């Protein structure tokens, strides 16, 4: 662990705090007219996603956690685990479904993902901003039904349901935003 000053905080830095592992999502240096300067922060728990607010004195020493990001490829599901392959060492890494959270909705075989490690523990998964998935099931569009902005539910190959325009049919490939879970365009 490396010690850094509270004055050196930046968005995205991961800190080892007494409550666990937290990522800085927002910070503000405050210099009141009276008294010493301080840093007001918003921190996201790397394991649970909970957001907390903390205030630190200026020049207070904090422990920066060393985070390792590895390019991986999703291979297959093995019971409750998702198995990824490290792109550099070709090691297979099983990841529990609970650790993936909502990102599991957008994983398909041979899909790319970035696993985030703290030591040997997997603390998160980052996906590309969008993925292309096949529509497994949806109601067919009716000829002439082209109302602007109208949507219908469609089930993707991964089982996730997304709202798509009326003209999209089963078997078509669509691009989906992995951050919001919304339809972007036809691929």
Q: What pLDDT band is residue 109 in, cutting at 50, 70 and 90?
A: confident
Gap between the terminal Cα atoms of the chain? 44
Residues 123-139: what's their mean pLDDT?
87
- CA-CA distance, 97 to 81, in Å (whole number)? 6
- CA-CA distance, 59 to 62, in Å (whole number)? 9
**Residue 98 buriedness (CB in 10 A; 0-12 / 13-18 / 19+):** exposed
**Mean per-residue pLDDT of the chain:** 86
Of 2.10.60.10, 3.30.470.20, 1.10.10.10, 2.40.50.140, the CATH number of 68-126 is: 2.40.50.140
pTM for the structure as a whole: 0.72
What fold characterizes domain 130-186?
Answer: OB fold (Dihydrolipoamide Acetyltransferase, E2P) (2.40.50)
**What contacts 62, CB < 8 A, 6 or more positions away?**
3, 4, 5, 6, 9, 15, 17, 56
Query: Collapsing DSSP states into helix, strand and coil, what is residue 122?
Result: strand
**Where do you find CATH 2.40.50.140 in the chain?**
68-126, 130-186
Give CATH for domain 2-64.
Answer: 2.30.30.30
Q: CB–CB of 127/74 below 8 Å?
A: no
**What contacts 119, CB < 8 A, 6 or more positions away?**
none
Asked whether residue 75 carries a pLDDT value surpassing 80, the answer given is yes
From 48, 66, 55, select the one nearest 27 (Cα to Cα).
Answer: 55
| Tens of pLDDT, residues 18-63 | 888 888 999 999 888 888 889 999 998 887 778 899 999 888 888 8
């Amino acid at each position: 662990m490396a010690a850094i000053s509270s004055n050196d905080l930046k968005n995205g830095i991961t800190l080892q705090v007494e409550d666990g592992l937290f990522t800085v999502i927002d910070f503000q240096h405050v210099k009141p007219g009276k008294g010493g300067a301080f840093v007001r922060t918003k921190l996201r728990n790397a394991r649970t996603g909970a957001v907390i607010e903390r205030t630190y004195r200026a020049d207070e020493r904090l422990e920066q956690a060393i985070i390792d990001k590895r390019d991986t490829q999703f291979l297959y599901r093995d019971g409750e685990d998702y198995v990824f392959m490290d792109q550099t060492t070709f090691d297979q890494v099983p990841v529990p479904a609970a650790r993936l959270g909502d990102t599991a909705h957008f994983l398909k075989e041979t899909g790319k993902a970035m696993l985030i490690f703290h030591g040997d523990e997997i603390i998160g998964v980052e996906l590309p901003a969008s993925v292309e998935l096949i529509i497994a099931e949806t109601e067919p569009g009716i000829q002439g039904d082209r109302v602007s902005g109208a949507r219908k539910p469609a089930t993707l190959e991964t089982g996730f349901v997304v709202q798509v325009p009326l003209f999209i049919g089963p078997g078509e490939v669509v691009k989906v935003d992995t951050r919001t879970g919304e339809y972007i365009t036809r691929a």
